[in-house]
């Protein structure tokens, strides 16, 4: 598919900001949505609006069939062994919380939880809460001078014993890719349960959970061209089946009396209440959209575009890049000299350029880098060379304005 034809499927990209055509470089925060996703959600509300699993009428039957079909799509998309291993959540954050809460009875004061130092807050705070409940110890896996996980340090930590290892697949700030397959194997050999935050990976690379061998893999729909409000918790069946439910009531029950309640089987046992049905339908449309793209060509083009973005920023001068490597995916973190990142972002916005500025929900990473925050430009399948050129030209004007 030609880039112009691809971009035309994303209506939000057609708008102007402050008189400038929108240059959207904040896909790592949330991706824009293709018309197919918008249409799928509108079609559900227009034609099939009913609750799933519960009613005998035709609307509910259609809604249930379409909803459960998405579970099959996700299973195939990440190559899970069983459809029951796919749990619908409201996003990556809820998925991690479900696992951290669900493991409470399996963790105690003798347990150690290892966490990637570049982790998003959503992959830190739930484990801290688990540690508070159980007395477990949390240890951050350090980064090396290049912003990657320090592998010898990681192996040394494992040798001292670990119960859980939580890591990024791809850093949401820098776009660095962790060697998760090898790290998972090492953690499993040490007897640890593994959870991988795949929120930043899922739209940029094929994910095969069977090959990775992780116990849990989590991601969000809105970072892969789908809607907000829906995410996926994948877990190996045996691991999911041992989790204590975070939410109870509604669809997750089998029987209820005032004396006792018994829970349903997977996946229902971990899906309490009315789900985000339209959002799940939209996620299914996003998976179809991604699957229809030429995968190898799309991945190659994104890699070339990110490399071009890195090079153009370096050539601009007085720009510091953080954790920039040839194999990064999706995002570039940077600062313009000693200028405050928020000032840079505001001045770019005045020229129609949308980037993200701040600590990116990764304060421990900022501390590791020795900064309070940074700018981040991130790309998607709709990003063009012209977008990069417009961004760098706008940044050059910001530089001239601030330094003159």
pLDDT tens-digit map of 175-220: 999 999 999 999 999 999 999 999 999 999 999 999 999 999 999 9
Q: Provide the β-strand partners of residue 89.
A: 231
Q: Which residue's entry shows tokens 């001068």?
A: 317
Nearest to 264 by CA among 284, 240, 283, 280: 240
Q: What is the CATH number of domain 3-25+295-403?
A: 3.90.1150.10
Determine the average pLDDT of the residues in 21-35: 98
The predicted structure's pLDDT at residue 1: 61
Q: Quick one: which of 149, 154, 156, 161 has its CA closest to 112?
A: 161
The residue-averaged pLDDT of 218-246 equals 98
Angle at which helix 385-403 crosses helix 295-316, to 10 degrees, equals 20
Average pLDDT, the chain: 96
Asked whether 167 and 192 are in contact (CB, 8 A), the reply is no
Tokens standing for residue 104: 């409470």
- 361 is annotated as an active-site residue: yes
**Closest to 99 measured CA to CA, from 222, 270, 213:** 270
For residue 158, give every residue at least 6 positions away whose Cβ sits within 8 Å of its Cβ, in sequence order, or none: 114, 165, 186, 187, 189, 190, 192
Where do we find the tokens 């900064």?
371
Q: Please give the C-alpha separations between residue 267 and each of 22, 99, 253, 350, in angstroms, as whole numbers.
A: 41, 14, 11, 47
Q: Tokens for 289? A: 């959209």
- Name the pTM for this structure: 0.97
Average pLDDT over residues 386-403: 96
Each domain of the chain, given as residue ranges in start order, spans 3-25+295-403, 38-291
Q: Minimal CA–CA distance to 277: which of 27, 41, 18, 36?
A: 41
Residue with tokens 């159980």: 134
Any idea which of 49-58, 218-227, 266-275 has the lowest mean pLDDT? Answer: 49-58
In this predicted structure, what is the pLDDT of residue 54? 79
- Which residues are within 8 A (CB) of 182 and not within 5 positions of it... i.e. 6 or more apart? none
Q: What mean pLDDT is predicted for residues 366-385?
A: 97
pLDDT at 3: 83
Check: CB of residue 174 under 8 Å from CB of residue 147: yes
CATH classification code of 38-291: 3.40.640.10
Virtual torsion, Cα 76, 78, 84, 89, nearest 10 deg: -120
Per-residue 3-state assignment (H helix, E strand, C coil) for the chain: CCHHHHHCCCHHHHCEECCEECEECECCCCCCCCHHHHHHHHHHHHHHCCCCCCCCCHHHHHHHHHHHHHHHHHHHHHCCCCHHHEEEECCHHHHHHHHHHHCHHHCCCCCEEEEECCCCHHHCHHHHHHHHHHCCEEEEECECCCCCECHHHHHHHHHCCCCEEEEECECCCCCCECCHHHHHHHHHHCCCEEEEECCCCCCCCCCCHHHHCCCEEEEEHHHCCCCCCCEEEEECHHHHHHCCCCCCCHHHEEEECCCCEEECCCCHHHCCCCCCHHHHHHHHHHHHHHHCCCHHHHHHHHHHHHHHHHHHHHHHCCEEEECCCCCCCCEEEEEECCCCHHHHHHHHHCCCEECEEECCCCHHHHHHHCCCCEEEEECCCCCCHHHHHHHHHHHHHHHHHHHC
Cα(138)–Cα(124) distance, rounded to whole angstroms?
A: 9
Average pLDDT over residues 55-72: 94
Q: Provide the pLDDT confidence category of residue 55 given band limits of 50, 70 and 90.
A: confident
Does residue 274 have a cis peptide bond before it, meaning omega lies within 30 degrees of 0?
Answer: no
End-to-end CA distance of the chain: 44
Quick check: 61 pLDDT over 90? yes
Q: Which of 357, 361, 374, 375 is catalytic?
A: 361
Report the 10 Å Cβ neighbour count for 366. 18
Check pLDDT > 90 for residue 404: no
Average pLDDT of the residues in 305-311: 98
């Amino acid at each position: 598919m030609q880039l112009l034809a691809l971009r035309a499927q994303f209506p939000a990209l057609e708008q102007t900001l402050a008189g400038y055509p929108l240059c959207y470089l904040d896909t790592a925060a949330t991706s824009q949505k293709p018309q197919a996703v918008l249409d799928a959600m509108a079609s559900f509300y227009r034609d099939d609006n009913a609750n799933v699993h519960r009613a005998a009428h035709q609307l509910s039957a259609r809604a249930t069939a379409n909803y459960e079909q998405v579970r099959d799509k996700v299973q195939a998309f990440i190559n899970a062994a069983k459809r029951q291993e796919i749990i619908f959540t409201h996003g990556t954050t809820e998925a991690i919380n479900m696992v951290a809460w669900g493991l409470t009875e399996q963790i105690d004061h003798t347990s150690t939880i290892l966490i990637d130092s570049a982790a998003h807050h959503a992959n830190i705070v739930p484990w801290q809460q688990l540690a508070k409940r159980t007395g477990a110890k949390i240890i951050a896996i350090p980064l090396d001078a290049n912003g990657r996980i320090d592998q010898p340090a990681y192996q040394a930590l494992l040798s001292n014993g670990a119960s859980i290892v939580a890591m990024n697949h791809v850093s949401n700030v820098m776009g660095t890719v962790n060697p998760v397959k090898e790290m998972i194997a090492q953690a499993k050999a040490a007897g640890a349960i593994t959870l991988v935050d795949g929120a930043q990976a899922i739209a940029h690379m094929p994910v095969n959970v069977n090959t990775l061998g992780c116990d849990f893999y989590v991601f969000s729909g809105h970072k892969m061209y789908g809607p907000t409000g829906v995410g996926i918790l994948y877990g190996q069946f045996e691991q999911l089946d041992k989790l204590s439910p975070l939410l109870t009531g509604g669809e997750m029950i089998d029987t209820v009396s005032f004396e006792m309640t018994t829970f349903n089987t997977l996946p229902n046992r971990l899906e309490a209440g009315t789900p985000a049905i339209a959002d799940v339908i939209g996620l299914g449309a996003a998976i179809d959209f991604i699957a229809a793209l030429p995968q190898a060509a799309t991945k190659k083009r994104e890699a070339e575009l990110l490399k071009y973005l890195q090079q153009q920023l370096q050539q601009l001068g007085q720009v510091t890049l953080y954790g920039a490597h040839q194999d990064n995916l999706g995002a570039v973190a940077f600062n313009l000299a000693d200028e405050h990142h928020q000032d840079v972002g505001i001045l770019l916005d005045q020229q129609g350029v949308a980037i993200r500025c701040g600590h990116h929900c990764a304060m421990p990473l900022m501390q590791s880098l020795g900064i309070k925050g940074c700018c981040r430009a991130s790309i998607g399948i709709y990003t063009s060379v012209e977008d990069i050129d417009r961004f760098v030209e706008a940044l050059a004007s910001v530089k001239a304005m601030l330094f003159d």
